[in-house]
Amino acid sequence: MIAVSAPSIAEREHELVADAIKSGWVSSAGPYVDRFEQAFAKFCGTRYALSVNNGTSALHLALMALDIGPGHEVIVPDLTFVATANAVAYTGAEVVLADVEPDTLGLSARTIAPHITPRTKAVIPVHLYGHPVSMGPILTLAAQHGLKVIEDAAQAHGARYWASRAGSMGDCGVFSFYGNKIITTGEGGMITTNDERIYQRAFQLRGHAMHPQRRYWHEEIGYNYRMTNLQAALGCAQLESIHQFLQFRRVVFDMYRTGLKRRPGLRLNTVKVWAESSLWMVCLEYDGFDQGGRDEFMAALALKGIETRPYFHTLSSMPMYEREPLPVAERKSRIGLCLPTHCNLSLREVSFVIDTVNSLLDDLEQSVPERPAAQAAAQE
């Protein structure tokens, strides 16, 4: 099976993790934690980076550091992984869903604005599948309404909006280092910020909110969200190779873009002129899936030995956040899927995926009456 995603672990990773084990620093203290945080802050172009045990913890800790809680509303995109909304719910704040743009699959100032109320405290733009949202207008809108901005960059390590790295533009950014991300620590996450107060507050809450001068004294409820030295050692090694990882993803994307047959209603990732995408996943959307068939298409690929994954379900379709569907997010979640995208792929495997997708789509188009182009455009 050609995996949809896989970590790239080489000799350098073995070397640094073994060094951490030999040192005896295997828990949340140790030199690799500081080293990873400092290197990641430098990579993102921020003053601070704070490591945590996973990306969801990073989201929750960022919200808590911004004093978001009961009585507040936080705007999140309807099309995202559920952790974006769950972290808001952990704080007691209300999750407010906004639709996404059809090209970037992310929030925009246009989709956020109608949902702002006097209770709105923050917005979480998600750089979905590695493409950054248009941050400039969002930051302007947020400043006009006194809103905090948390960039969910879990999938966007190295992405840029113009010259700015993802995670460096809002009040803070959050990243995931799960095994399928651009770089991995197995599990793990990071908060990035240029605001010393946010950093210090998150640092305090991360370690049980222990008093900095009085050991084992706690004046408020904190969390155990620390990253281990072993994970950080793996992260240091991975970060050394991140530019090669990103470059190979561009090679894979270019192969898909060149090799997949041009046909009406077929789209791959949009990359805006102002954006540099991390291309976490190569995304395929096909208007022919409007009336169903996407999951059957994925099953047919699996029978050929190719793993794929569907777009995320919309949050508005889930029982805990259920409400009226938002049209763009709802449609995208039905017609989109992700193709194998990782650094362990051989170019021969990518070519096999391309040939198989082309063949299956040819068969599909021959078996279904052609739909008027105007109808497809109207649904976009």
Rounded Cα–Cα distance for residues 97 and 112 (Å): 9
Domains of the chain and CATH, by start: 11-240 (3.40.640.10), 242-379 (3.90.1150.10)
- Phi first, then psi: what are they for 121, rounded to 5°? -110, -30
Q: From start to end of the chain, where are the E strands?
A: 48-52, 73-77, 94-98, 120-123, 148-152, 160-161, 164-165, 172-176, 189-193, 266-267, 275-276, 282-286, 309-310, 336-339
Cα 47 to its chain centre, rounded Å, is 22
What is the pLDDT, as a whole number, of residue 362? 97
For residue range 128-156, what is the model confidence (pLDDT) as tens digits?
999 999 999 999 999 999 999 999 999 99
| pLDDT-derived band at 193, boundaries 50, 70, 90 | very high
- Average pLDDT on 26-39 reads 97
- Tell me the β-bridge partners of 339: 282
DSSP lists the bridge partners of residue 267 as 285
Residue 265 to residue 261: CA distance in whole angstroms? 11
First to last CA, the chain: 33
Percentage of residues of the chain with pLDDT beyond 70: 97
Which amino acid is located at 224 in the chain?
N
Of 178, 222, 187, 165, nearest in space to 49 by CA: 165
Identify which of 138, 141, 132 has the alpha carbon closest to the alpha carbon of residue 161. Answer: 132
Helix (H, G, I), strand (E, B) or coil at 250: helix
pLDDT at 377: 47
pLDDT of res. 370: 55
Q: pLDDT at position 112, please?
A: 98
Listed residue (175, 109, 171) closest to 140, CA to CA: 109
The tens digit of pLDDT for each residue in 309-320 reads 999 999 999 999
Q: For the full predicted model, state whether its pTM sits above 0.85.
A: yes
pLDDT tens readout for residues 318-337: 999 999 999 999 999 999 99
Rounded to whole angstroms, the Cα distance separating 135 from 139 reads 6
pLDDT tens digit string along 200-234? 999 999 999 999 999 999 999 999 999 999 999 99
Q: What is the mean pLDDT of the chain?
A: 96
pLDDT value at residue 367: 84
SS3 of residue 225 by DSSP: coil
Q: Average pLDDT of 9-34?
A: 97
Answer whether residue 374 shows pLDDT above 80. no
285 three-state secondary structure: strand
How many Å separate Cα 274 from the centre of its chain?
Answer: 19
Query: What pLDDT does 369 receive?
Result: 63
Structure tokens at 353: 């995926």
What value, to the nearest 5°, has the Cα angle with vertex 359 and ends 355 and 364?
Answer: 150
Say whether 368 sits in a helix, a strand or coil.
coil
Question: Taking residues 9-29, what's their average pLDDT?
Answer: 97
In this structure, the number of other CB atoms found within 10 A of the CB of residue 36 comes to 28
Question: 3-class SS at 310?
Answer: strand
50-59 pLDDT tens trace: 999 999 999 9
pLDDT at residue 375 is higher than 80: no
Q: Is 378 a residue whose pLDDT tops 90?
A: no
What digits encode the pLDDT tens for the residues 62-82?
Answer: 999 999 999 999 999 999 999
Rg (CA), the chain: 21
% residues pLDDT > 90 (the chain): 96
